[in-house]
Structure 1
Amino acid sequence: MTPEEQQLISLYAGEALRVSVPLILTFAGYGGFVLGFIIAVRSLTIRESWGRPQIILLVCLVTILVCFTWEGLYNGAVFLTSDRYTFAQTSEQGLAAQAQAALKKVKIWEFMSDWPATINNLLSDGIVVWRAWCLSQQDRYWRLTLALLMIANIGVNVADCIWGDLGMALSSPAILDWILSAISLIVNMVATILFACKAWAYHQYIAGLNSSSARNGTWAENILHLLIESGVVFCAVQSIYIVIAVLGAYNIITSLWPLDTIIAINEIAAACYPVAVIALVPRIQTNNISILHGQSRALTA
């Protein structure tokens, strides 16, 4: 074996190791997602009433499951195909020719690379915006802000996927990636801030009743706190991804390890966050106050 071949083997093995870490994270996150999916579906099916909102949420959950499964299969297929044709099947022309053959085989899967993650991200943002929308029935400015941000989010993401399918991707796709993530981050930050405002208004309302619930916290208040905390965690993941993507776009970070890892974590969070939102808020009524539909004077103050 020549020194050049040894160098190529080391290079390709390092690349395989780099890809395998996010892949392991993705499938580990998929297991947690399936558990959350079952809990969320259970929370929908145990409701006394079954109407259009529940059907829409169930369709969204199933779509997220299909897209996340699709995404996992894509990542796994690319990894296995690349390793098979790079290492398992030998060629008389050498390792470099094997790597080129692997690249040609991997291209078969490229048509399904963008849409699953985009659909999951949009559904994730959409479900969170819908929850925030329900809490702001009498707040026109909040609703207008949420609607405009979500429309911009959908338009930019769909346009990016279409451009990619047509072969018109930008010369610096990493820059576009962090711009898309920044829009999604703003959407989730606005929704989380709205949750916080409603939680504070509800806390003030309960505190004015001078009841034990004001000291211990009601079920509704605790759920709102969980929504806020999960929103903060999701926004933190998106923020880290944006920072790493920006540093990578301007070649400040040359290694792909951090970017690949945070992409996997971001994809897991995008799939799990809406599932958590649905599971956490099956139906909340405290003292005839429906938080889900924003019928409380405290929550619309």
Structure 2
Amino acid sequence: MTCQVETTDLEAPTRRRAGAGLRGLSTSEVPRAEKFALMRTGELGSMHSWELVTAVDGPGTRMTMFLSGCPLRCLYCHNPDTFAMKDGDPVLADEVLARIKRYRGVFSATNGGITLSGGEVLMQPAFAGRILRGAKEMGVHTCIDTSGFLGANASDEMLDDVDLVLLDIKAGDEETYQRVTSRSLAPTIAFGRRLAELGKKVWVRFVLVPGLTDDPRNVELVAGHAAAIEAVRPGTVERVEVLPFHQMARDKWAELGRTYELGDTEPPTPEATEAVRNVFRAEGLTTF
């Protein structure tokens, strides 16, 4: 489907993360009815921002794109301005692919690529799938960063175009997961096993939050889930990243008028973080 749309170049608005925005991309002014039709086909998506990062969100230098919309409400979310899809900007997939094409040399030189993050990338599977397919056709390494809660939205055909999945396991037991995200843990675990069955490479991510996710039993359960995914097909879980909680999002929550429950929570000590990493290592997992 082809459409004619008016485009307007954007600078990074103040509501976006520092250093991020839609710079270089164009937003699309599309009539409401046509907008929904284009989103169904994946030709149009709702995007919060993009940025080039190194040693984060996958290997090498990466163009990380933050899509808008997420079904989870993580207490420590550092992108609360991506909760609602309506708060993003409409961007054509072809516009994104043209931008990816410009950085192919950088990706090749650094063994990098693209990472679709959010928000939750699987809120927009048609848009994500179109970008992933186009990137693979260019020979670009692809990655998605997901909670796995909407794993059922990812078709096998879409996952064929994914080289790496950053799978965020927020907690190890149902009660803690509900407390952290207001959602259920089971879909994440099911998606992790499915990824292993499909032979996808996975980096497990776990955010260590004192007083929330640091209970030893919870940590052991998260490590057990990661080990279970690895057991389905050895070599699936390439690494586990234990990410220490930080307070970098506190001001953003306040600016959005949202209640931030972790305002008094201190980051974990380096010693506590390393102790948690050792729990994963005890399961035979490479951990950072």
Global fold match (TM > 0.5)? no
| TM range, smaller chain | under 0.3
Choose between structure 1 and 2: higher helix proportion. Answer: 1
Choose between structure 1 and 2: higher strand proportion. Answer: 2
Larger Rg: 1
When normalised by structure 1's length, the TM-score is 0.23
